[in-house]
Structure 1
Amino acid sequence: MSVMVVGQIGRDVVLQTPELSGTGGTHPVRERREMLGGKGANQAVGLAQLGVPVGLIGVVGADEPGASALEQASSDGIDTTHVIRRGTTALVVSVVDDSANRLLLEHVPQHALLTPDDIDRGRPGLLAADTVSVQLQQPISSTLRAARQGRQAGALVLADGAVDLDHSDELFELVHVFRADADEAELVAGEPVKTPAAAMALATRILHKGPVLVALAISGVGDLLVWRNGSRLFPLSDAPVVDRTGAGDAFMAGLIAALRRDADPVQAGHLATAAASSTVGHLGGRPQLDGLRHA
């Protein structure tokens, strides 16, 4: 049995510069990194590093970057059997300065997004998985199809990202675990979610719609986990932040790895926040979680 991650695969280019300011002039690049990226791939890499058997359903281009992404994913121990190839590979360029300010440039063509037919092609992988993790940055028709198939197969179903409000009730009925960052939580709530009390109120409303565990990030505060009979706030780490890219993906990898070994929500929250803290300490969204494998 394994985890099947449904989400974006692409190429990440990360540039570090001393300061992001103004719109003109020249900004020197101190460091440049190119790597396998995308929220789905980052999460799958993190899971593999934590010792979890994992596969991907996503799209890469029928181009050299796509071939390179597949080669890297395979070398990371990720099953790419159900990855679709077409068009050009999605690209994200991230410019990060010494204060962890970030500018993102994204080229994600429509053909780089999953369709319901793509999900159906990956159905054998979904049926074989004990856990299905769906990134909500994909079209709602595709994410609902994946969540529904995972639920019908008896898998633990998780969803991460911004919810299409027209389909939120349908989604929440299908997932066991829902996670959102601060901006995504605000979209669900229809108002800022800046305090633990506001996050608790939102999480409670979501729990009443179906999930058994909700994780919400609170900007500048930390991560709140809420379940049917309890809650726990995990404050932000004091560790220096180099680049916030990929923190949420690492959080999900840690959460999934812990839940699959029957950890309780508090134990799962500790591993998830440790994974996120580890990831913001280096440049780029690719996680480095091998040291947490036995945590």
Structure 2
Amino acid sequence: MTAQDSRPPHDATGVLVIGSVTMDVTTFSSRLPRPGETFLGDAFTLVLGGKGANQAVAAGRAGAPIRFVGCVGEDLFAPLVRQGLTDAGVDIGHLREVPGQTGVAHIRVDASGENDIVMVPLANAELTAEQIDSALEELAPTSEVLLTQLEIPFALTMHAIRGAHDKGLTVVLDPAPAHDLEESIWPLVDVVTPNETEASLLTGIEVDSREAAVQAGQWFLDRGVTHALITMAGAGCVLVGTGSVRHVPAHRVEVVDTTAAGDAFAGYLAASLAAGEDLPRAINRAGAAGALAVTRRGASPSLPRAAEVDAHLATLAGTQDPADGSGGDEGDHP
């Protein structure tokens, strides 16, 4: 789904993820504690996380040949990270070990499934432009899509986008956590996928309605992005392209934990585009993956496998033609 005809042609189906990896320390409780309060929880998990790693696992479970570029420390968490990625079929040949600690995310989840997260980058801050260049040189010829985020130093995200664009890859940017980027980057992005909060922070437009999402999407297009996909949880998502707007309703599910729902969406979107799906169909499959992810606890453990996503979509086939990308009835998460 490469938008700029001047880039080199590609005949590959791989997804290259450049991003963060953490160990996720997650607590579950009926509500979140107030400032200064100690509150008893219900459960605790320690699992692979980080937006980059989660998205790599999701793309791998979607069926894409997947390669991950990132950094881990020299601590007890590093072997757990490697095992979690390789178990999902992720190529970790460019996962570099650096002195110090592996990144950590502290996640708190309440009974409604909502969460808050403190992410400590640690080893993720040691990623380098040279490491990115080496990975692109080796892996770009067999990759179709670059998927990246903003949990690594944002200057390196921009470096990765420039390099991937120059080598002909379709660039998908999940701008989370939101951070201002150089204006020169936007024309190199094929698909940007902010949620409503990130879109509001980046554009200055309060995304509290479908109409506002369209305005925010147009803000990205005005700066050169080919497609803007604004996700809005229970309100579905809005796809804005040149001269076109498409609303994609959400999938109705029971929410248990929203952690990594956006990563499931991004990973499946990238994998579907790399496999040659058009954007509406890719969004439909990504929406199903994100919906299934919120029905389970945890980050990487909640990421669904391809057979589960396909089965979920099959249940919707009688109510909506999958070709229109709507993904069935409006519900809780895109």
TM-score by length of 1: 0.91
**Cα contact 2:23–2:46 (8 A) shared by 1:** yes
1:235 aligns with 2:249: yes
The match for 1:33 among 45, 54, 57 is: 45
CA distance in 1, matches of 2:267, 2:110: 26
Are the structure 2 counterparts of residues 288 and 216 from structure 1 closer, same or farther at C-alpha, using a change threshold of 3 Å? same
Identity of aligned residues (%): 29
CA distance in 1, matches of 2:144, 2:181: 28
Deviation at 1:95, TM superposition (A): 1.6
Deviation at 1:124, TM superposition (A): 2.8
1:216 aligns with 2:227: no
The match for 2:90 among 78, 93, 96 is: 78
1:123 aligns with 2:139: no
1:292 aligns with 2:309: yes
Deviation at 1:14, TM superposition (A): 1.7
1:89 aligns with 2:127: no
Look up the SS of the partner of 2:237 in the other structure. strand
1:68 aligns with 2:80: yes
CA distance in 2, matches of 1:111, 1:252: 20
CA distance in 1, matches of 2:286, 2:181: 29
Look up the SS of the partner of 2:159 in the other structure. helix
Farther off after superposition, 46-55 or 130-139: 130-139
Number of the residue aligned with 2:6: none
Number of the residue aligned with 1:262: 276
Number of the residue aligned with 2:171: 157
1:103 aligns with 2:122: no
CA distance in 2, matches of 1:29, 1:166: 38
Deviation at 1:19, TM superposition (A): 2.2
Farther off after superposition, 126-135 or 42-51: 126-135
Farther off after superposition, 63-72 or 214-223: 214-223
Specify the code of the residue in structure 1 equivalent to 2:309.
L
Look up the SS of the partner of 1:275 in the other structure. helix
**Cα contact 1:126–1:132 (8 A) shared by 2:** no
Deviation at 1:194, TM superposition (A): 1.1
CA distance in 1, matches of 2:95, 2:194: 25
How many residue pairs align between the two structures?
A: 294
Specify the code of the residue in structure 2 equivalent to 1:122.
A
Look up the SS of the partner of 2:94 in the other structure. coil
Are the structure 2 counterparts of residues 164 and 99 from structure 1 closer, same or farther at C-alpha, using a change threshold of 3 Å? closer
Deviation at 1:47, TM superposition (A): 0.8
Farther off after superposition, 47-56 or 62-71: 62-71
Which digits, 9 at most, give the CA deviation of each residue in 1:98-127, with x for residues without a partner?
122323233222754523233123233442
**Cα contact 1:93–1:105 (8 A) shared by 2:** yes
Specify the code of the residue in structure 1 equivalent to 2:251.
S
Which digits, 9 at most, give the CA deviation of each residue in 1:251-281, with x for residues without a partner?
1112112222332332122111111111111
Look up the SS of the partner of 1:254 in the other structure. helix
Deviation at 1:63, TM superposition (A): 1.6
Are the structure 2 counterparts of residues 283 and 113 from structure 1 closer, same or farther at C-alpha, using a change threshold of 3 Å? farther
Deviation at 1:217, TM superposition (A): 1.9
Look up the SS of the partner of 1:130 in the other structure. strand
Number of the residue aligned with 2:55: 43
1:182 aligns with 2:185: no
Unaligned segments of structure 1, at least 5 residues: none
RMSD: 2.1
Are the structure 2 counterparts of residues 102 and 164 from structure 1 closer, same or farther at C-alpha, using a change threshold of 3 Å? closer
1:225 aligns with 2:222: no
The match for 1:202 among 212, 216, 222 is: 216
Which digits, 9 at most, give the CA deviation of each residue in 1:66-106, with x for residues without a partner?
12201221121000001111121011121212122323233
**Cα contact 1:181–1:216 (8 A) shared by 2:** yes
